[in-house]
Every structure is written in structure tokens, then in C-alpha cells.
Chains A and B, each alone.
Chain A
Amino acid sequence: MANKVKIKIDGKEIITDEGKTIVEAARENGVFIPTLCNFAGALPKGCCRMCTIKINNRFMTACTTPAASGMEVENHTPEIEEFRKSIIELLFVSGNHFCPSCEKSGNCELQALAYRYQMMVPRFPYDFPMKSVDGTAPFIIKDQNRCILCKRCIKTIKDEQGRHYFAFKERGHKLEVILDEQMGKEMSRALARKAMENCPVGSIIYKEIGFAEPIGTRKYDKMPIGSEIDN
């Protein structure tokens, strides 16, 4: 059995297994730390910075930092929440996020976080970058306009031999997540649906059916993201 450690999040004492990430430890103890690129069961990457917290007065990412004895974590403080809100706003202006025409609207984690932080308008100017949409695969559409490069699809969508369906292409500001042409053709319906589910935004869309859930019944229509964890 793993050693137990004691940490404090916003003054609340939490006992958890040594080595568990702070995001996991917090979740198990009813404390919500917002995440985007983090995905349960996949290796954390720490690239979106949504889970930024302060440990002993230093900024760290909660998804990549293992809990260790004596940590004093700041989570829901005005400074950190404002920082997180600015990340969401940056994501909104750096892609083309047209919520009214997106099938993922209502089930989108980026949008849900914007709701949680009550983003009325991003403080940054819109970039409106030119992006492509790949609809060649039989069951999914890969829309670069909405991709936030979180890598969740790359990490979690694989075939039986462990080969990845999605991959990074190019570098720097040209970086994109693309679907392998050949493997995309062979992707099953079930896996295509899972790819859409695992995508935090509407960058991976399952074809054939859309807007099936009416407004008011979708995941984040009534309750803010994280309210199932927070207590």
C-alpha cells in the first residue's frame, strides 16, 4: 500500500496516496481544479496550464505535480482564477470558436470553463486564423478551427496494436493535430464516437448525427463544470 501524505488545499486538509497528482488527490476529496489537456488514464502533459495552482507560493501545474507531504496549495484564489480566465480567453481568440454553429456546444469543456468563469468577452483581440477542416474519413470530421492542441486524442485513441490514429504535424504556430489518412478510413464507428467524446472541444466531430441533444439537457446547460466534484 502506498504511503499516505497530508497536503492542504486552500486550507482544507487532504490525506492522499504519495505520488498521486494533485488534480487526482483534489478530485477524490471534493476539490475541483479545472483541467483541459489532462485526461484520466492518460499521462499528464501540463501544456494548457488551466490547472495552475500555487504550491508553497510557487506556480505549478496540478496535473503533473505529485502530492508530497506538507504542501500548501492555493487553488480558488482571485489571483489564480483570474489567471485561468485569461487562458480561456486566449484560447477563444487564438482559434475560431463559433459556439452557435458547433455541435459540441453545451458539451464542450472549453465553453463550460468560460461559463464557469463568466467570460462575457475575451480581453484580447480576435485572431481569426485561417484553418482547414478534414472531412475525408468516413465517420469523423477533424476541424482545425476548434483544436486547442491538448493531445488528448493522440494519447487515448489507438488501435489494438497500440498505433495512434492522431498525430502532431508541423511545429510552432503551424502545429496541428491531424488524423492519419489510412487509419482514419479504417476507424470504427465506436472509436469515432469515443474520439469525439474524448475531445474537450468540437475539433473531432462524429458524422451522421448532430445536435441530437436539445438545449437544456446537455452536460453543462444547468450546472457549471466541476460542480459534481466541488463540495
Chain B
Amino acid sequence: MEKKIIATTSLAGCFGCHMSILDIDERILDLIELVEFNKSPVDDIKTFTKPVDIGIVEGGCCNSENVEVLRSFRKNCKILISLGECAIMGGLPALRNGIPIEECLREAYLEGPTVGLNTTKILPNDDELPMLLDKVYPCHEVVKVDYYLPGCPPRADLIWDALVALITGNELALPYEVVKFD
């Protein structure tokens, strides 16, 4: 069987979901027999070099760069998976969603208890920095997403079973213990 191509990325996430991918333990040896990684922090390939079968996205969209990366994933991947609570519903970064962005920045850079070193009182404004969005968006509110794997992080067994099901074309069994939101 030809190897499926996989790409992964972490947008507004904490890389915990990627850690959970590594939690498949020795099955990682089986995984490299089944798939080849393209753009991913796992192999440090920065840009897509070929069409990808399965794209795995961790984290929601909190800034313009996240949106750009997510759109490039949708464009280059046949199947797109939202991995983890942040990709599915914004997760912890989305705790700021009820607070106006100006207030967030003021608290973080001007008035918070730990900003003593910012004596010049500037907000980050370099052109190189991505723009913050008004709120954190779940991935499926930005592009079409095909599958969702919830969890914080998703259980390694869920990730493994989902990947194997997708690659082999078999139906995914979902035992009660693996679908959790925390």
C-alpha cells in the first residue's frame, strides 16, 4: 500500500495535542510504515512540498497567521481534521472572547501586575507580527473541516484509531472512554 501523506500544525494551541500524537508510544514504528510526514513540526518541513492526504490541525485561530496557515492546510490537504478542544471550540485561548481586544492588550502590556519592564508603554506593533483577531475562532468557522477529534488533549488511542481508520478505509469504532473533552 502506498504511504499516505500527513501534515500537522499547531495554531493557537499549546502543542499538547502533538504530544498526545507521540503518546501512541511504540505504535509510532507502525505509523511510519503507514504514513509519510510532510509539513509538520514533527519533521520540521516548513512548507508543503506535495499534495497531502490528511491534515491535522491543533489550536484555533487567534491571529492572521493562524488563518493563513489554516487556509493553506485546507488548500493542500484532502482531509482536514480538527484535533483537540482549541481547534474545535477555541479552547483556553478563547477565554478572552468575551473581553474587548483593546482591554486584553492593555492588561497584558500596560496595566497588568507583571508589565514593570515595559517602561516605554508600547503595545507590540512590529510589521512582522501577525494581527490579533477580534476573538479566537474555532477552525471550522474559518474553513471547512472534515473530522473532529475532541479532548484536551485527545487520547492517543483516539488519534491512532482515527488515523488507522482513515488510512485503511475502515469504520472508526468510538469506545466511550476515548471521547472526552478534558
Per the CB 8 Å criterion, the residue count for chain B at the interface is: 29
Residue B90 lies at the interface, judged by CB distance under 8 Å to chain A: yes
Residue A114 is within 8 A (CB to CB) of chain B in the complex? yes
Contacts A100-B91, A126-B90, A126-B138; A120 near B98 (Cβ below 8 A)? no
Residues on the B chain within 8 Å of A106, using CB:
182
- Do A100 and B150 have beta carbons less than 8 Å apart? no
Number of A-B contacts (CB under 8 A): 71
Contact with A along B2-39 (1 / 0, CB 8 A): 00000000000000000000000000000000000000
A224 in contact with B179 given A121-B140, A129-B98 (CB within 8 Å): no
Residues of A with C-beta under 8 A to B85: 98-100
Interface secondary structure of B, over-half rule: mixed
When chains A and B are docked, how far (Å) is the Cα of A131 from the Cα of B102? 18
Report if A130 contacts B (CB, 8 A).
yes
Residues of A within 8 A of B91 (CB): 98, 100
Taking beta carbons and an 8 Å cutoff, which residues of A are in contact with B?
92, 96, 98-102, 105-106, 111, 114-115, 118, 120-122, 125-126, 128-131, 215, 221-224
14 residue pairs from A and B, CB less than 8 Å apart: A96-B95, A98-B95, A99-B181, A100-B85, A101-B95, A102-B182, A111-B181, A115-B176, A120-B88, A121-B89, A121-B138, A128-B94, A130-B99, A131-B98
**Chain B residues packing against A (C-beta within 8 Å):** 82, 85, 88-92, 94-95, 97-99, 135, 138, 140-141, 145, 147-150, 152, 174, 176-177, 179-182
The 5 closest A-B CB pairs, nearest first, are A100-B152, A99-B181, A130-B98, A128-B97, A120-B148
